[in-house]
């Protein structure tokens, strides 16, 4: 017998399976965003409490589903008070994000040419900053995939992310004296 959490995830995956059939990435992302928003806002039940526990070492990444055909993955991220991501990309993958619990702040960045000849040094122009509440979804299509996510609230926040394929690595961009240094990192589930 399935638990409430397993049923909730299975119903979400069923909706994503239909949405991912769209003809192009933008259409696919729009449909997945609609599925996530509707599912979070209207489906009874919720994810198991153990999935929603933050970690002290940084935001938690938990794999909820990996499509057997490799078309997409569904990852839950849990953000304790004050936790956030560094400036990062999605390694050329599209991504749809939806707030499941609490609220998050997000800021986009646009890469600009850097004076340095170093291949691992970049400049960015900060873009829009926004706050997303439960059920609000957004998506990122390469090359507009650079952003920072944070939880400035006193309570835990959780977000659901759907990526094209499984995102096991990405690039972090760390501020240096002039610009940002690019570092490829391997991502893990906690």
Mean pLDDT throughout 85-98?
Answer: 97
For residue 123, the model assigns a pLDDT of: 92
**Residue 75 in contact with residue 66, Cβ under 8 Å?**
no
pLDDT, tens digit (0-9, with 9 covering 90-100), for 149-163: 999 999 999 999 999
- Residue 1 pLDDT exceeds 70: no
For residue 117, the model assigns a pLDDT of: 67
| Cα–Cα distance for residue pair 181/183, rounded to 1 Å | 7
- Confidence at 4, pLDDT banded by 50, 70, 90: confident
Residue-averaged pLDDT of the chain: 94
Query: Token digits for 177?
Result: 């004296």
The fold of the 51-186 domain, in CATH, is: Jelly Rolls (2.60.120)
For residue 91, the model assigns a pLDDT of: 93
Query: Token digits for 98?
Result: 């939806």
**Residue 78 in contact with residue 53, Cβ under 8 Å?**
yes
Cβ atoms within 10 Å of 78's Cβ, excluding its own? 24
Please, which residues bridge with residue 95 across strands?
Answer: 140, 163
Q: Which of 83, 81, 84, 78 is nearest to 52 (CA)?
A: 78
Query: Token digits for 88?
Result: 């990062």
Please, which residues bridge with residue 124 across strands?
Answer: 111
For residue 2, the model assigns a pLDDT of: 75
Give domain limits for the chain: 51-186
Mean pLDDT throughout 76-95?
Answer: 97
pLDDT, tens digit (0-9, with 9 covering 90-100), for 117-147: 677 889 999 999 999 999 999 999 999 999 9
Mean pLDDT throughout 49-53?
Answer: 94
| % of the chain residues with pLDDT over 70 | 98
């Amino acid at each position: 017998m399935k638990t409430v959490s397993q049923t909730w995830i299975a119903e979400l995956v069923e909706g994503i399976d239909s949405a991912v059939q769209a003809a192009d990435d933008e259409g696919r992302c729009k449909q997945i965003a609609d599925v996530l928003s509707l599912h979070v806002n209207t489906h009874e039940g919720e994810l198991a409490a153990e999935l929603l526990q933050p970690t002290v070492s940084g935001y938690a990444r938990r794999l909820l589903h990996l499509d057997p055909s490799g078309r997409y993955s569904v990852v839950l991220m849990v953000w304790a008070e004050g936790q956030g991501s560094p400036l990062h990309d999605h390694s050329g993958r599209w991504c749809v994000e939806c707030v499941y619990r609490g609220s998050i702040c997000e800021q986009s960045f646009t890469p600009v040419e850097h004076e340095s000849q170093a291949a691992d040094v970049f400049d960015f122009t900060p873009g829009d900053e926004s706050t997303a509440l439960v059920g609000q979804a957004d998506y990122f299509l390469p090359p507009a995939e650079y952003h920072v996510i944070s939880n400035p609230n006193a309570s835990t926040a959780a977000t659901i992310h759907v990526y094209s394929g499984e995102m096991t690595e990405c690039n972090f961009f760390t501020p240096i004296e002039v610009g940002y240094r690019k570092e490829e990192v391997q991502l893990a589930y906690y």
